[in-house]
Amino acid sequence: MDLEEAFTVVDTPVHLAGQSDDALLRQIRRRKEFSEPRSTLSPATGLEKDIHLRPLEALHWLSYVTRPRYQDDVLDRYLWWGLLRYLGFFTHDYSHSRLPELALSDAGRRIAGNQRRVTSEEMGIAFGAALAARWFGETGAATLRTVVDIDVALDARFVFEPSTAVEHIGTRRPDYLLIGGDQRDPGRCRLRVLECKGTKTPGNAVSQLARAVGQLDGVTVGSRVPRGLATSMVTGESRTSYLALNTEDDDEPSYEVDGDTIDRVGNFRFVSDRVDVTAAEITSASIRASWAMLADFGGNLPAIQRWAPEVMLDRIRRRPRVRETFETPVGPVRGTSLDFGFGRERLVVRYGVAVPVDDQLSGDSAGELLEAQQEFADRLEESRGSERPPASREVYSATADGTVFSLVRGERG
Protein backbone atom coordinates (compact mmCIF):
# COMPACT_ATOMS: atom_id res chain seq x y z
CA MET A 1 0.00 0.00 0.00
CA ASP A 2 1.48 3.38 -1.00
CA LEU A 3 0.93 6.68 0.83
CA GLU A 4 -1.74 7.90 -1.59
CA GLU A 5 -3.87 4.82 -0.98
CA ALA A 6 -3.28 4.98 2.79
CA PHE A 7 -4.42 8.62 2.81
CA THR A 8 -7.58 7.69 0.93
CA VAL A 9 -8.38 4.89 3.39
CA VAL A 10 -7.98 6.99 6.55
CA ASP A 11 -9.72 10.10 5.22
CA THR A 12 -12.74 8.46 3.52
CA PRO A 13 -15.93 8.07 5.60
CA VAL A 14 -16.54 4.39 6.25
CA HIS A 15 -19.48 2.30 7.37
CA LEU A 16 -18.63 0.94 10.83
CA ALA A 17 -20.89 -1.99 11.62
CA GLY A 18 -22.16 -2.09 15.19
CA GLN A 19 -24.63 -3.62 17.60
CA SER A 20 -26.23 -2.09 20.67
CA ASP A 21 -29.68 -3.53 21.34
CA ASP A 22 -31.77 -5.68 23.67
CA ALA A 23 -30.44 -8.87 22.08
CA LEU A 24 -26.91 -7.82 23.04
CA LEU A 25 -28.11 -7.10 26.58
CA ARG A 26 -29.50 -10.60 26.85
CA GLN A 27 -26.24 -12.06 25.53
CA ILE A 28 -23.96 -10.37 28.03
CA ARG A 29 -26.25 -11.13 30.97
CA ARG A 30 -25.67 -14.82 30.28
CA ARG A 31 -21.89 -14.42 30.53
CA LYS A 32 -20.10 -15.46 33.69
CA GLU A 33 -18.00 -12.26 33.50
CA PHE A 34 -21.10 -10.06 33.79
CA SER A 35 -22.12 -8.22 36.94
CA GLU A 36 -25.19 -5.96 36.89
CA PRO A 37 -24.25 -2.29 37.30
CA ARG A 38 -26.03 -0.10 39.83
CA SER A 39 -27.37 2.18 37.07
CA THR A 40 -29.80 0.97 34.42
CA LEU A 41 -28.00 -0.71 31.53
CA SER A 42 -29.37 -0.08 28.05
CA PRO A 43 -28.43 0.16 24.35
CA ALA A 44 -26.03 3.05 23.80
CA THR A 45 -27.73 6.21 22.55
CA GLY A 46 -26.76 6.91 18.95
CA LEU A 47 -24.78 3.68 18.59
CA GLU A 48 -27.70 1.26 18.28
CA LYS A 49 -26.80 0.19 14.76
CA ASP A 50 -23.82 1.23 12.64
CA ILE A 51 -22.23 4.66 12.27
CA HIS A 52 -20.14 6.51 9.70
CA LEU A 53 -16.76 8.03 10.54
CA ARG A 54 -13.31 8.67 9.13
CA PRO A 55 -10.63 6.32 10.50
CA LEU A 56 -8.35 9.35 10.85
CA GLU A 57 -10.59 10.55 13.71
CA ALA A 58 -9.91 7.33 15.61
CA LEU A 59 -6.15 7.56 14.98
CA HIS A 60 -6.26 11.14 16.25
CA TRP A 61 -7.94 10.08 19.50
CA LEU A 62 -5.43 7.27 19.94
CA SER A 63 -2.42 9.57 19.56
CA TYR A 64 -3.98 12.11 21.95
CA VAL A 65 -5.30 9.86 24.71
CA THR A 66 -2.37 7.44 24.99
CA ARG A 67 0.52 9.91 24.75
CA PRO A 68 0.77 10.66 28.53
CA ARG A 69 1.40 6.96 29.21
CA TYR A 70 4.73 7.10 27.35
CA GLN A 71 7.76 8.76 28.90
CA ASP A 72 10.06 10.95 26.87
CA ASP A 73 12.75 8.34 26.35
CA VAL A 74 10.32 6.13 24.37
CA LEU A 75 7.76 8.69 23.13
CA ASP A 76 9.30 9.24 19.68
CA ARG A 77 9.75 5.52 19.15
CA TYR A 78 6.12 4.93 20.13
CA LEU A 79 4.86 7.64 17.77
CA TRP A 80 6.91 6.37 14.83
CA TRP A 81 5.98 2.75 15.42
CA GLY A 82 2.28 3.45 15.94
CA LEU A 83 1.92 5.69 12.91
CA LEU A 84 3.82 3.47 10.53
CA ARG A 85 1.82 0.47 11.68
CA TYR A 86 -1.66 1.98 11.78
CA LEU A 87 -1.54 4.22 8.72
CA GLY A 88 -1.54 1.16 6.47
CA PHE A 89 -3.42 -1.19 8.82
CA PHE A 90 -6.79 -0.99 7.06
CA THR A 91 -8.09 -1.30 3.54
CA HIS A 92 -11.56 -0.74 2.05
CA ASP A 93 -14.16 -3.45 1.51
CA TYR A 94 -17.19 -2.50 -0.61
CA SER A 95 -18.98 -5.87 -0.45
CA HIS A 96 -21.38 -5.08 2.43
CA SER A 97 -22.63 -1.49 2.03
CA ARG A 98 -22.67 1.59 -0.15
CA LEU A 99 -19.89 3.19 1.88
CA PRO A 100 -16.75 1.09 2.29
CA GLU A 101 -16.18 -0.97 5.41
CA LEU A 102 -12.80 -1.49 7.03
CA ALA A 103 -10.91 -4.75 6.56
CA LEU A 104 -7.28 -5.52 7.31
CA SER A 105 -4.76 -4.69 4.63
CA ASP A 106 -2.05 -7.16 3.64
CA ALA A 107 0.29 -5.34 6.04
CA GLY A 108 -2.32 -5.51 8.80
CA ARG A 109 -2.74 -9.26 8.31
CA ARG A 110 0.98 -9.77 8.80
CA ILE A 111 0.93 -8.37 12.34
CA ALA A 112 0.98 -11.38 14.67
CA GLY A 113 1.58 -12.55 18.21
CA ASN A 114 1.88 -10.00 21.00
CA GLN A 115 1.99 -7.11 18.53
CA ARG A 116 -1.41 -8.18 17.24
CA ARG A 117 -2.80 -8.22 20.79
CA VAL A 118 -1.44 -4.73 21.43
CA THR A 119 -2.86 -3.56 18.09
CA SER A 120 -6.32 -4.86 19.01
CA GLU A 121 -6.19 -3.13 22.38
CA GLU A 122 -5.08 0.17 20.88
CA MET A 123 -7.75 0.01 18.19
CA GLY A 124 -10.19 -0.52 21.06
CA ILE A 125 -9.00 2.76 22.58
CA ALA A 126 -8.95 4.61 19.25
CA PHE A 127 -12.44 3.68 18.14
CA GLY A 128 -13.80 3.60 21.70
CA ALA A 129 -12.97 7.30 22.09
CA ALA A 130 -14.44 8.05 18.66
CA LEU A 131 -17.63 6.19 19.63
CA ALA A 132 -17.75 8.15 22.90
CA ALA A 133 -17.65 11.41 20.95
CA ARG A 134 -20.59 10.23 18.84
CA TRP A 135 -22.44 9.04 21.95
CA PHE A 136 -22.05 12.40 23.67
CA GLY A 137 -23.33 14.23 20.61
CA GLU A 138 -26.37 11.99 20.23
CA THR A 139 -27.55 12.45 23.82
CA GLY A 140 -28.11 16.15 23.14
CA ALA A 141 -26.98 17.16 26.62
CA ALA A 142 -23.28 17.81 26.09
CA THR A 143 -20.45 17.86 23.56
CA LEU A 144 -17.42 15.72 24.32
CA ARG A 145 -14.44 17.95 24.93
CA THR A 146 -11.77 15.50 25.94
CA VAL A 147 -10.91 12.04 27.24
CA VAL A 148 -8.69 11.82 30.33
CA ASP A 149 -6.78 8.70 31.31
CA ILE A 150 -7.81 8.02 34.92
CA ASP A 151 -4.45 6.40 35.73
CA VAL A 152 -2.74 9.63 34.76
CA ALA A 153 -5.28 12.13 36.13
CA LEU A 154 -6.08 10.41 39.45
CA ASP A 155 -3.92 8.71 42.03
CA ALA A 156 -5.23 5.15 41.98
CA ARG A 157 -3.31 4.07 45.10
CA PHE A 158 -6.01 5.38 47.42
CA VAL A 159 -9.51 4.14 48.18
CA PHE A 160 -11.74 6.96 49.38
CA GLU A 161 -14.27 6.85 52.17
CA PRO A 162 -18.01 7.14 51.37
CA SER A 163 -18.09 10.76 52.54
CA THR A 164 -15.79 11.93 49.75
CA ALA A 165 -16.85 12.89 46.24
CA VAL A 166 -14.84 10.11 44.67
CA GLU A 167 -15.85 7.26 46.88
CA HIS A 168 -14.09 4.39 45.22
CA ILE A 169 -11.34 3.84 42.71
CA GLY A 170 -11.03 0.08 42.65
CA THR A 171 -9.15 -2.46 40.64
CA ARG A 172 -12.23 -2.90 38.46
CA ARG A 173 -12.88 0.62 37.26
CA PRO A 174 -13.19 2.34 33.89
CA ASP A 175 -10.10 3.48 32.02
CA TYR A 176 -11.18 6.96 31.02
CA LEU A 177 -13.00 10.01 32.30
CA LEU A 178 -15.04 11.89 29.68
CA ILE A 179 -15.44 15.65 30.04
CA GLY A 180 -18.29 17.23 28.13
CA GLY A 181 -19.35 20.86 27.74
CA ASP A 182 -22.99 21.35 28.76
CA GLN A 183 -24.86 22.57 25.68
CA ARG A 184 -27.32 24.59 27.76
CA ASP A 185 -24.70 26.38 29.86
CA PRO A 186 -21.10 26.86 28.64
CA GLY A 187 -20.01 27.42 32.24
CA ARG A 188 -20.90 23.89 33.29
CA CYS A 189 -19.47 20.45 32.46
CA ARG A 190 -20.70 16.88 32.61
CA LEU A 191 -18.53 13.96 33.65
CA ARG A 192 -18.95 10.45 32.31
CA VAL A 193 -16.77 7.35 32.12
CA LEU A 194 -15.59 5.08 29.34
CA GLU A 195 -14.33 1.50 29.40
CA CYS A 196 -13.13 0.26 26.01
CA LYS A 197 -11.87 -3.13 24.90
CA GLY A 198 -10.45 -4.50 21.66
CA THR A 199 -10.05 -7.93 20.09
CA LYS A 200 -9.38 -9.54 16.72
CA THR A 201 -11.83 -12.39 17.41
CA PRO A 202 -15.59 -11.71 17.15
CA GLY A 203 -16.31 -14.51 19.62
CA ASN A 204 -14.37 -12.70 22.36
CA ALA A 205 -16.16 -9.38 22.01
CA VAL A 206 -19.27 -10.24 24.07
CA SER A 207 -17.18 -11.50 27.00
CA GLN A 208 -15.04 -8.39 26.78
CA LEU A 209 -18.12 -6.18 26.84
CA ALA A 210 -19.50 -8.05 29.85
CA ARG A 211 -16.29 -7.28 31.76
CA ALA A 212 -16.31 -3.67 30.56
CA VAL A 213 -19.85 -3.10 31.83
CA GLY A 214 -18.80 -4.36 35.26
CA GLN A 215 -16.08 -1.73 35.42
CA LEU A 216 -18.40 1.26 34.88
CA ASP A 217 -19.31 1.30 38.59
CA GLY A 218 -15.67 1.67 39.64
CA VAL A 219 -15.74 5.45 40.12
CA THR A 220 -18.32 7.43 42.09
CA VAL A 221 -18.42 11.22 41.74
CA GLY A 222 -20.32 13.37 44.19
CA SER A 223 -22.18 10.36 45.66
CA ARG A 224 -23.29 9.33 42.16
CA VAL A 225 -22.10 6.80 39.64
CA PRO A 226 -21.47 8.78 36.43
CA ARG A 227 -23.20 7.77 33.25
CA GLY A 228 -20.90 5.36 31.41
CA LEU A 229 -20.19 3.80 28.03
CA ALA A 230 -18.71 0.33 27.50
CA THR A 231 -17.40 -0.68 24.06
CA SER A 232 -15.67 -3.64 22.48
CA MET A 233 -14.00 -3.15 19.11
CA VAL A 234 -13.44 -6.09 16.75
CA THR A 235 -10.67 -5.65 14.17
CA GLY A 236 -11.19 -8.89 12.28
CA GLU A 237 -9.42 -9.69 9.05
CA SER A 238 -12.50 -9.23 6.90
CA ARG A 239 -14.54 -6.73 8.92
CA THR A 240 -14.19 -4.09 11.63
CA SER A 241 -17.16 -3.69 13.98
CA TYR A 242 -18.16 -2.70 17.50
CA LEU A 243 -20.43 -3.64 20.39
CA ALA A 244 -21.60 -0.96 22.84
CA LEU A 245 -23.87 -0.47 25.86
CA ASN A 246 -24.39 2.45 28.21
CA THR A 247 -25.67 3.11 31.70
CA GLU A 248 -28.44 5.69 32.06
CA ASP A 249 -28.99 8.67 34.33
CA ASP A 250 -32.25 10.51 33.80
CA ASP A 251 -31.16 13.28 36.15
CA GLU A 252 -27.53 13.61 35.10
CA PRO A 253 -25.90 16.52 36.95
CA SER A 254 -23.60 19.12 35.49
CA TYR A 255 -20.95 20.93 37.47
CA GLU A 256 -20.11 24.63 37.40
CA VAL A 257 -16.58 25.39 36.26
CA ASP A 258 -14.93 28.79 36.00
CA GLY A 259 -11.50 30.29 36.19
CA ASP A 260 -11.66 30.77 39.97
CA THR A 261 -12.59 27.14 40.70
CA ILE A 262 -9.83 25.87 38.43
CA ASP A 263 -7.24 28.18 39.97
CA ARG A 264 -8.25 27.03 43.46
CA VAL A 265 -7.33 23.41 42.69
CA GLY A 266 -3.82 24.18 41.50
CA ASN A 267 -2.35 21.95 44.22
CA PHE A 268 -5.15 19.40 44.09
CA ARG A 269 -4.14 15.87 44.95
CA PHE A 270 -6.25 12.98 46.14
CA VAL A 271 -5.13 11.89 49.61
CA SER A 272 -6.58 9.21 51.81
CA ASP A 273 -7.47 11.44 54.75
CA ARG A 274 -9.41 14.17 52.92
CA VAL A 275 -13.13 14.12 53.54
CA ASP A 276 -14.15 17.48 52.07
CA VAL A 277 -13.58 16.85 48.36
CA THR A 278 -16.46 18.11 46.23
CA ALA A 279 -17.58 17.09 42.76
CA ALA A 280 -16.79 20.63 41.57
CA GLU A 281 -13.19 20.25 42.75
CA ILE A 282 -12.84 16.94 40.95
CA THR A 283 -14.29 18.44 37.78
CA SER A 284 -11.90 21.38 37.96
CA ALA A 285 -8.90 19.15 38.66
CA SER A 286 -9.86 16.91 35.75
CA ILE A 287 -10.06 19.92 33.44
CA ARG A 288 -6.60 20.99 34.59
CA ALA A 289 -5.39 17.49 33.76
CA SER A 290 -7.00 17.73 30.33
CA TRP A 291 -5.18 21.02 29.73
CA ALA A 292 -1.89 19.35 30.62
CA MET A 293 -2.72 16.60 28.09
CA LEU A 294 -3.55 19.31 25.54
CA ALA A 295 -0.23 21.05 26.18
CA ASP A 296 1.60 17.72 25.90
CA PHE A 297 -0.04 17.02 22.55
CA GLY A 298 1.19 20.36 21.20
CA GLY A 299 4.64 20.14 22.82
CA ASN A 300 4.00 23.16 25.08
CA LEU A 301 6.27 22.22 27.98
CA PRO A 302 5.73 25.35 30.16
CA ALA A 303 1.97 24.84 29.90
CA ILE A 304 2.31 21.25 31.13
CA GLN A 305 4.10 22.61 34.19
CA ARG A 306 1.47 25.34 34.60
CA TRP A 307 -1.66 23.21 34.51
CA ALA A 308 -0.86 19.61 35.43
CA PRO A 309 -2.01 18.44 38.86
CA GLU A 310 0.74 17.10 41.10
CA VAL A 311 0.00 13.49 40.28
CA MET A 312 0.49 14.16 36.57
CA LEU A 313 3.73 16.07 37.09
CA ASP A 314 5.03 13.06 39.01
CA ARG A 315 4.31 10.82 36.02
CA ILE A 316 5.15 12.86 32.90
CA ARG A 317 8.72 13.73 31.95
CA ARG A 318 9.27 15.74 28.76
CA ARG A 319 12.19 17.49 27.07
CA PRO A 320 11.85 20.73 25.08
CA ARG A 321 10.87 20.20 21.44
CA VAL A 322 10.96 22.41 18.36
CA ARG A 323 7.53 23.96 17.86
CA GLU A 324 6.18 25.48 14.65
CA THR A 325 3.00 27.16 13.47
CA PHE A 326 1.07 25.40 10.70
CA GLU A 327 -1.82 26.58 8.58
CA THR A 328 -4.77 24.15 8.55
CA PRO A 329 -8.38 24.22 7.32
CA VAL A 330 -9.48 25.04 10.90
CA GLY A 331 -7.04 27.90 11.32
CA PRO A 332 -3.43 28.28 12.47
CA VAL A 333 -2.11 25.52 14.72
CA ARG A 334 1.03 25.43 16.85
CA GLY A 335 2.80 22.20 17.69
CA THR A 336 5.40 19.61 16.77
CA SER A 337 5.90 17.27 13.83
CA LEU A 338 7.53 14.00 12.80
CA ASP A 339 9.04 13.47 9.35
CA PHE A 340 9.10 10.04 7.67
CA GLY A 341 10.76 9.01 4.42
CA PHE A 342 9.25 6.32 2.16
CA GLY A 343 11.49 5.88 -0.86
CA ARG A 344 10.76 8.96 -2.97
CA GLU A 345 7.81 10.01 -0.82
CA ARG A 346 7.72 12.00 2.40
CA LEU A 347 5.16 11.98 5.21
CA VAL A 348 4.93 14.74 7.81
CA VAL A 349 2.76 14.10 10.86
CA ARG A 350 1.71 17.16 12.84
CA TYR A 351 0.46 17.30 16.42
CA GLY A 352 -0.87 20.73 17.26
CA VAL A 353 -3.21 22.96 19.21
CA ALA A 354 -5.23 25.82 17.72
CA VAL A 355 -3.15 28.98 18.19
CA PRO A 356 -5.78 30.93 20.21
CA VAL A 357 -6.06 27.98 22.61
CA ASP A 358 -2.29 27.44 22.76
CA ASP A 359 -1.79 31.14 23.53
CA GLN A 360 -4.09 30.84 26.52
CA LEU A 361 -2.46 27.57 27.62
CA SER A 362 0.73 29.62 27.92
CA GLY A 363 -1.02 32.29 29.98
CA ASP A 364 -2.24 32.44 33.55
CA SER A 365 -5.99 32.91 33.11
CA ALA A 366 -8.08 29.77 33.41
CA GLY A 367 -11.17 31.78 32.50
CA GLU A 368 -9.68 33.05 29.24
CA LEU A 369 -8.53 29.52 28.36
CA LEU A 370 -12.07 28.22 28.89
CA GLU A 371 -13.38 30.97 26.61
CA ALA A 372 -10.80 30.21 23.90
CA GLN A 373 -11.77 26.53 23.94
CA GLN A 374 -15.46 27.39 23.75
CA GLU A 375 -14.88 29.67 20.74
CA PHE A 376 -12.89 26.96 18.95
CA ALA A 377 -15.56 24.34 19.73
CA ASP A 378 -18.26 26.65 18.33
CA ARG A 379 -16.31 27.25 15.10
CA LEU A 380 -15.65 23.55 14.71
CA GLU A 381 -19.32 22.71 15.17
CA GLU A 382 -20.33 25.31 12.55
CA SER A 383 -17.93 23.78 10.03
CA ARG A 384 -19.00 20.14 10.50
CA GLY A 385 -21.76 20.24 7.90
CA SER A 386 -19.58 21.71 5.16
CA GLU A 387 -18.36 19.58 2.28
CA ARG A 388 -14.88 18.12 2.62
CA PRO A 389 -12.62 17.76 -0.41
CA PRO A 390 -11.47 14.22 -1.19
CA ALA A 391 -8.23 13.00 0.34
CA SER A 392 -5.35 15.04 -1.03
CA ARG A 393 -1.84 15.80 0.13
CA GLU A 394 -3.06 16.84 3.59
CA VAL A 395 -5.70 15.20 5.76
CA TYR A 396 -6.64 16.34 9.25
CA SER A 397 -8.84 15.77 12.27
CA ALA A 398 -9.77 18.20 15.08
CA THR A 399 -11.31 17.83 18.55
CA ALA A 400 -13.54 20.28 20.38
CA ASP A 401 -10.91 21.18 22.98
CA GLY A 402 -8.47 22.49 20.36
CA THR A 403 -6.22 19.66 19.14
CA VAL A 404 -5.51 19.20 15.44
CA PHE A 405 -3.87 16.08 14.01
CA SER A 406 -2.77 16.17 10.37
CA LEU A 407 -0.86 14.10 7.85
CA VAL A 408 0.93 15.79 4.94
CA ARG A 409 2.21 13.84 1.96
CA GLY A 410 4.94 15.13 -0.35
CA GLU A 411 8.09 14.28 -2.27
CA ARG A 412 11.50 14.00 -0.68
CA GLY A 413 13.84 16.80 -1.56
pLDDT, average across residues 332-336? 97
Is the confidence at residue 136, as pLDDT, over 70? yes
Strand 90-93 to strand 101-104: parallel, antiparallel, or no bridges (unpaired)? antiparallel
Tally: H helices and E strands in the chain? 14, 16
Q: What is the DSSP letter of 391?
A: S
Q: What is the pLDDT of residue 277?
A: 57
CA distances from 82 to 146, 174, 268 (A): 21, 24, 33
Average of per-residue pLDDT values in the chain: 85
Ranking 11-25, 32-46, 301-315, 376-390 by mean pLDDT, the lowest is 376-390
| Cβ count near 76 (within 10 Å) | 12
Q: Closest by alpha carbon to 246, among 121, 118, 132?
A: 132
Question: Under a CB-based contact definition with an 8 Å cutoff, are residues 215 and 11 in contact?
Answer: no
Is the confidence at residue 364, as pLDDT, over 70? yes
Is the confidence at residue 246, as pLDDT, over 90? yes
Q: What is the pLDDT of residue 160?
A: 30
Quote the percentage of the chain above a pLDDT of 70.
88
pLDDT, average across residues 311-317? 79
With both helix axes pointing from N to C terminus, report the angle between 113-139 and 72-87 in degrees, rounded to the nearest 10. Answer: 80
Strand 240-247 to strand 41-43: parallel, antiparallel, or no bridges (unpaired)? antiparallel
Strand 331-342 to strand 345-354: parallel, antiparallel, or no bridges (unpaired)? antiparallel
Stated as kind and residue range, the H or E segment containing 323 is: none
pLDDT, average across residues 248-260? 86
pLDDT, average across residues 108-133? 91
Q: Cα separation of 47 and 37, whole Å?
A: 20
Collapsing DSSP to helix, strand or coil, 246 comes out as strand
The residue among 250 and 240 whose pLDDT is bigger is 240
Res. 145 pLDDT band, cuts 50 70 90: confident
| Cβ count near 290 (within 10 Å) | 20
> Exposed, middle or buried: residue 118 (CB in 10 Å: 0-12, 13-18, 19+)?
middle
pLDDT, average across residues 312-338? 90
pLDDT, average across residues 260-281? 65
Is the confidence at residue 174, as pLDDT, over 90? no
Is the confidence at residue 158, as pLDDT, over 50? no
* Own/partner long-range contacts of 203-211 (Cβ < 8 Å, ≥24 apart): 205/232, 205/233, 205/234, 205/243, 206/24, 206/27, 206/28, 206/31, 206/232, 206/243, 207/31, 207/33, 208/232, 209/24, 209/28, 209/243, 209/244, 209/245, 210/28, 210/31, 210/33, 210/34, 211/33, 211/34
Q: Cα separation of 410 and 413, whole Å?
A: 9
Quote the percentage of the chain above a pLDDT of 90.
46
Question: Under a CB-based contact definition with an 8 Å cutoff, are residues 89 and 105 in contact?
Answer: yes
Instruction: Render pLDDT for 59-118 as a digit per residue (tens, 0 to 9).
Output: 999 999 988 888 787 787 777 767 777 888 999 998 877 899 999 999 889 888 888 898
Q: What is the DSSP letter of 103?
A: E
Name the residue type at position 327. E
Instruction: Render pLDDT for 4-24 as a digit per residue (tens, 0 to 9).
Output: 888 899 999 999 999 999 999
Q: What is the DSSP letter of 218?
A: G
